[in-house]
Amino acid sequence: NAGVTQTPKFQVLKTGQSMTLQCAQDMNHNSMYWYRQDPGMGLRLIYYSASEGTTDKGEVPNGYNVSRLNKREFSLRLESAAPSQTSVYFCATWTGTDTQYFGPGTRLTVL
């Protein structure tokens, strides 16, 4: 039982490059989320998916796209990376009642 897994753990991109961050969960939760964490700003919601087949924008969606591939997987795509997207990205799932469970994070640097 791995919980929430994220790949890759680290990534360095050049401005303009694209990449997809992967997230998978084995807890059978309906809702999944993508956050970014920047120093002194806490975690900010990028996109979320309340259930398979649905996605909605969060607080900071610009420059990102998401895909809820199935119940287990929720990916985050950067089509043209910018230095402002340098951050730590966390995927999370929700039990439907109380807490969200977070993955270990992906540390992204855009040069």
Partner 1 sequence: GQQLNQSPQSMFIQEGEDVSMNCTSSSIFNTWLWYKQDPGEGPVLLIALYKAGELTSNGRLTAQFGITRKDSFLNISASIPSDVGIYFCAGQSSSNTGKLIFGQGTTLQVKP
For partner 1, the closer of residues 14 and 98 by Cβ is 98
Q: How far is the CB of 7 from partner 1 (least distance, A)?
A: 14
Q: Which stretch binds partner 1 (CB under 8 A): 13-21, 62-70, 71-79, 97-105?
A: 97-105
Task: Among 1, 53, 62, 98, indicate the residue that binds partner 1 (CB under 8 A).
Answer: 98
62: which residues sit within 8 A by CB, 6+ positions away?
Answer: none
Among 17, 31, 67, 86, binds partner 1 (CB under 8 A): 31
